[in-house]
A and B are shown apart, each in its own frame.
Chain A
Amino acid sequence: MTAELPLKIALYTGKGASHSWIWFVDTLSSHGINTIEFITDTGDIAADVLVVSGGDPFALFSHIGKHGVSRIRSFIEKGGTYIGICAGTYFALRFHENPYPWLNLVDGEISNFAIEPPPNIRMPHKYLVKYRDGFVFHPVREAVTLEYNGYTIQAPLYGGPGILSANAEPLASYSQFTPKTMFLCGKEEARQALLGKRALITKKVSRGCLYLFGPHFEHPHFPDANRELIALLSKIPHRGYHVEPTGSQIKGNEKRTWIKEVKRWVSNGRLAAFGLQNYQWKIGEKMYDPERLAYFFQACFKLVSFLELQQSIRAIPDIPERARTLTLQVRNLGPDAAQAEILLEGIKTLTSDLYSLYFSTLQPPQLPRTP
């Protein structure tokens, strides 16, 4: 363990990752944790923690494949910590007798899998995901109450599981619905599916550990849940990974020209994304809407606005051109899901690059790696 170096977090943002990783980054950053590296494959995870957040586990697996899964296993066995949230939890949980070859490191059963799910009453596109002979169904969305460490907190649920049993230690369970809970099936069926079921579990595997969340503790509108997430992260041992700065330092006219061009195209992209018609695109097994795209552009705009105010910043030369290309793609986007997927992956990369530049601009140089 190298005490001088902070906790380093590898956050998966590749195919299959939705937009909720932005919540994770913003929440950690607001608590002073800026040592986050964004990864789009799992080949070589040089970090203390790997986070796989919300999205589509089918798309994730189709991208990283068996090799990627094996690398994640190896990462955990060698002492790494895996944090799964929502899709990242399904990915790590073996909840079917004939599972897809995902991570499957925790054996368990989930309460929201059924051959015949309860009838859906709203948001049909968010309700069901086919899995083998049955369906994973999502009984509620938005804020639910959890029992955690002997008291209650609220966190939102956007498709995460209720865990019936698992060969893992339970840390939190679903205890109540809230006035903001949105029911996608009947209340009684939702109650049966979720209340009393586990919402967060942990398991040691070899030298490493997994934390699997159903709800999004990282959502920035839920400060109590955020604090618990940060407290949990604070217990993870630091293994001495160095965070390399991204981009090169620029200032003066060079900085002004670069930031102006980035802002120009991010602004154009943001406005066009907010102006998209009410399309929906099926990418992998998940439905995406224009709001998701706009969310990424909004995050980019916020980061650019921060960088604009700094005297000296880190920059990547080709970002203005990439932002321009993405803007033109938004302006021409129609109902074609293939085009939407290209755009989604592009804007995710741009967003994570801008976050990396933001962190690199913020951070003082770190101490050299301790031998």
Chain B
Amino acid sequence: MELYTDLIAVVDLDAGEVEEVDIEEDFIEKNIGGACANNALLSQYPDSVILGTGVLTGTLFPGSALGVVTAKKNGTVCHSAFNWFSGPELKLSGFSFVVLKGKAENPVYLWLHDEIADIESTDLWGKNTWETTAYLREELGENRIQTLVIGEGGEKKSGAALLVNNYWGTDDRNGLAAVLGEKNVKAVAMRGMGEVEISEPEEFISAAEEVLTGLKSKIQKKGAPVEGLEAITQRFDACFNCPYACRNFVETGENEGVVIFERHLKDLMAHGLDVKKAAETLQTCYQLGVNPKYGKDPNALTTMGSQPAQPLEDKEGWYYTLGVCPILDQFGIDEEAAVRAITAGTGLEISADTLDDIVSRL
């Protein structure tokens, strides 16, 4: 299927087995990808955690770094996003979607590479997210491996658990790290050198370029500087193929620092911390895998009770289906060009109305 790598990994954690299922064109035509496709897979495999990529994830389309994790929590279907390089890496590992069903008897991590999904038992339980990522990269021999990791928050099934991407917090607003913790899954490591095919490459690139030109004309500032952190901001980074370097790396001590996710920083400041203290605390939150939305004491957040589900807001469902970062919405993505990119990329006749209709089911 164009714009996707070929497989869905259905990981049976009870049995320790993986089934590889081909992605059918009909599945994409009905669900497009990302959150919508995850929803469909969750219906097929209830009580599972689904990792999925959007139809544009990992392509030349600007901002196409997004992957989506979906699970049911307290009876509600919840979606959380991960980006950086993990979305593209998941797709290029050969698995555009991963279904995690059942529960491993003992802690495991999942290693996705070149259409191989390995379930590896591990003694990483109890390690923080930074130690876990460093260990996996060392163990598997490749520093470009992307990880989705749970920390103490996820292990203790805290309502404030936060999924961490390598070393930094994701937009896991629903504590889905705790669902991974329930399944005894400490981490998902991903690396792949796969390729996605494009049905009509010239038309696809033309549409992607059009969107990129539009975004660049509106992105005025360099990075996303945070007032009060200018002096300790070391650099601005962008996720995969994104024209907006919104990720600022802030030094929090000698040889230490944190990549700021603005919403998390503001949450800590709303709890009364000054901006520098908030940045330092954010680092600890990410190490422990907890979401500062629910408090300013990271250790206390590891044992928090259940929190209400946070539904997708505004246009987020549309972005989560395409696999494009919703932070770019502030610059106004050309939606008509995006639909043209999907049509040219997949070779499917998908109109804006069809897309909206599918997204509305979320």
A-B interaction: yes
Which residues of chain A have a CB within 8 Å of any CB of chain B?
Answer: 260, 263-264, 267-268, 270-272, 274-276, 301, 330-331
Closest chain B residue to A298 by CB distance? Answer: B193
B137-160 with Cβ < 8 A to chain A: 139-145
B101 at the interface (CB under 8 A from A): no
Q: Which of A272, A274, A275 has the most CB of B within 10 A?
A: A275
Closest chain B residue to A263 by CB distance? Answer: B116
- The 9 sampled A-B contact pairs (Cβ below 8 Å) are A263-B114, A263-B116, A267-B113, A267-B114, A268-B140, A270-B114, A274-B193, A275-B142, A301-B114
Q: Which residues of B contact A264 (CB under 8 A)?
A: 116, 118
Q: Which of B142, B143, B145 has the most CB of A within 10 A?
A: B142
Question: Does the CB pair A272–B116 fall under 8 Å?
Answer: no
Q: Which residues of B contact A301 (CB under 8 A)?
A: 114
Tell me the smallest distance from the CB of B17 to a CB of chain A, in Å: 12
B contacts with A: majority SS: loop
Tell me the smallest distance from the CB of A244 to a CB of chain B, in Å: 32
Closest chain B residue to A264 by CB distance? Answer: B116
Q: Which residues of B contact A331 (CB under 8 A)?
A: 139-141
Q: Mark B123-145, 1 if CB is under 8 A from A, else 0.
A: 00000000000000001111111
Q: Which residues of B contact A275 (CB under 8 A)?
A: 141-145
Question: Does the CB pair A274–B118 fall under 8 Å?
Answer: no
Tell me the smallest distance from the CB of B197 to a CB of chain A, in Å: 15
Closest chain B residue to A308 by CB distance? Answer: B115
Q: Which residues of B contact A276 (CB under 8 A)?
A: 141
Closest chain A residue to B144 by CB distance? Answer: A275
Question: Does the CB pair B191–A271 fall under 8 Å?
Answer: yes
Cα–Cα, bound, A268→B145 (Å): 12
Which residues of chain B have a CB within 8 Å of any CB of chain A?
Answer: 113-116, 118, 139-145, 191, 193
Q: Which residues of B contact A263 (CB under 8 A)?
A: 114-116
Question: Does the CB pair B140–A272 fall under 8 Å?
Answer: yes
A contacts with B: majority SS: helix
Tell me the smallest distance from the CB of B120 to a CB of chain A, in Å: 11
Given contacts A268-B141, A271-B141, A274-B193, 18 further A-B pairs with CB under 8 A are: A263-B114, A263-B115, A263-B116, A267-B113, A267-B114, A268-B140, A270-B114, A271-B140, A271-B142, A272-B141, A274-B142, A275-B141, A275-B142, A275-B143, A275-B145, A301-B114, A330-B141, A331-B140
Tell me the smallest distance from the CB of B134 to a CB of chain A, in Å: 14
Q: Which residues of A contact B139 (CB under 8 A)?
A: 331
Q: Which of B114, B115, B140, B141 has the most CB of A within 10 A?
A: B141
Cα–Cα, bound, A261→B142 (Å): 20
Cα–Cα, bound, A270→B194 (Å): 13
Closest chain A residue to B137 by CB distance? Answer: A275
Cα–Cα, bound, A267→B94 (Å): 12
Tell me the smallest distance from the CB of A310 to a CB of chain B, in Å: 16
Q: Which residues of B contact A274 (CB under 8 A)?
A: 142, 193
Cα–Cα, bound, A183→B139 (Å): 40
Tell me the smallest distance from the CB of B220 to a CB of chain A, in Å: 37
Q: Which of A268, A272, A301, A330 has the most CB of B within 10 A?
A: A268
Cα–Cα, bound, A263→B115 (Å): 9
Q: Which residues of A contact B144 (CB under 8 A)?
A: 275
Cα–Cα, bound, A260→B144 (Å): 24
Q: Which residues of B contact A268 (CB under 8 A)?
A: 113, 140-141
Cα–Cα, bound, A272→B139 (Å): 10
Cα–Cα, bound, A263→B20 (Å): 15
Q: Which residues of A contact B141 (CB under 8 A)?
A: 268, 271-272, 275-276, 330-331
Cα–Cα, bound, A264→B20 (Å): 14
Q: Which residues of A contact B193 (CB under 8 A)?
A: 270-271, 274
Tell me the smallest distance from the CB of A155 to a CB of chain B, in Å: 29
Tell me the smallest distance from the CB of B191 to a CB of chain A, in Å: 5
Cα–Cα, bound, A330→B139 (Å): 11
Q: Which residues of A contact B142 (CB under 8 A)?
A: 271-272, 274-275
Closest chain A residue to B141 by CB distance? Answer: A272
Q: Which of A260, A271, A272, A301 has the most CB of B within 10 A?
A: A271
Cα–Cα, bound, A276→B142 (Å): 7
Question: Does the CB pair A267–B140 fall under 8 Å?
Answer: no
Q: Which residues of A contact B143 (CB under 8 A)?
A: 275
Q: Which residues of B contact A271 (CB under 8 A)?
A: 113-114, 140-142, 145, 191, 193
Closest chain A residue to B139 by CB distance? Answer: A331
Tell me the smallest distance from the CB of B352 to a CB of chain A, in Å: 38
Tell me the smallest distance from the CB of A259 to a CB of chain B, in Å: 11
Closest chain B residue to A273 by CB distance? Answer: B141
Q: Which 7 A-B pairs have the closest CB atoms?
A: A275-B142, A272-B141, A331-B141, A267-B114, A271-B142, A264-B116, A267-B113
